[in-house]
C-alpha cells in the first residue's frame, strides 16, 4: 500500500508535512486547495479514517500512524480556532 505525504500551510504561514498510509487522501485534498479550518479538519478526519480502514482491509489492523497524524493535525488546528484568518492551504500531495 503506497504511503503518501501532504503538505499543509497553516493560517500563520507555517507548514507541516503530514503522513497518510494510503493514497485515498488524494480523493479529499488537492494541491492548491484553500479551506476554512473547520472544513480542513473534517476532511482530514474522513481522509485519514479511510486510509486507516484501507490498511485494516489489507492487513487486518487499523493504522495507528494515520490516527496519530490526525491527532497532530487537531492539536495544531486548535491554535488557530480564534484566528481572524483561518484558511488552511494544501501545498502538495505526493
- The domains of the chain are located at 4-93
Q: Is the pLDDT of residue 16 over 70?
A: yes
Mean pLDDT across 13-29? 97
Residue 80 near residue 74, CB atoms below 8 Å: no
Q: pLDDT tens for residues 80-89? A: 988 888 999 9
Q: pLDDT tens for residues 38-80? A: 999 999 999 999 999 999 999 999 899 999 999 999 999 999 9
Residue keyed to cell 492548491: 32
Query: What pTM value is reported for the model?
Result: 0.93
- Tell me what pLDDT residue 1 has: 66
Amino acid at each position: 500500500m503506497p504511503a503518501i505525504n501532504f503538505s499543509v500551510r497553516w493560517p500563520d504561514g507555517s507548514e507541516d508535512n503530514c503522513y497518510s498510509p494510503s493514497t485515498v487522501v488524494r480523493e479529499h485534498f488537492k494541491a492548491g486547495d484553500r479551506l476554512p479550518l473547520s472544513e480542513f479538519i473534517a476532511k482530514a478526519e474522513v481522509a485519514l479514517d479511510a486510509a486507516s480502514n484501507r490498511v485494516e482491509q489489507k492487513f487486518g489492523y487499523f493504522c495507528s500512524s494515520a490516527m496519530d497524524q490526525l491527532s497532530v493535525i487537531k492539536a495544531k488546528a486548535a491554535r488557530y480556532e480564534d484566528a481572524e484568518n483561518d484558511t488552511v492551504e494544501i501545498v502538495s500531495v505526493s
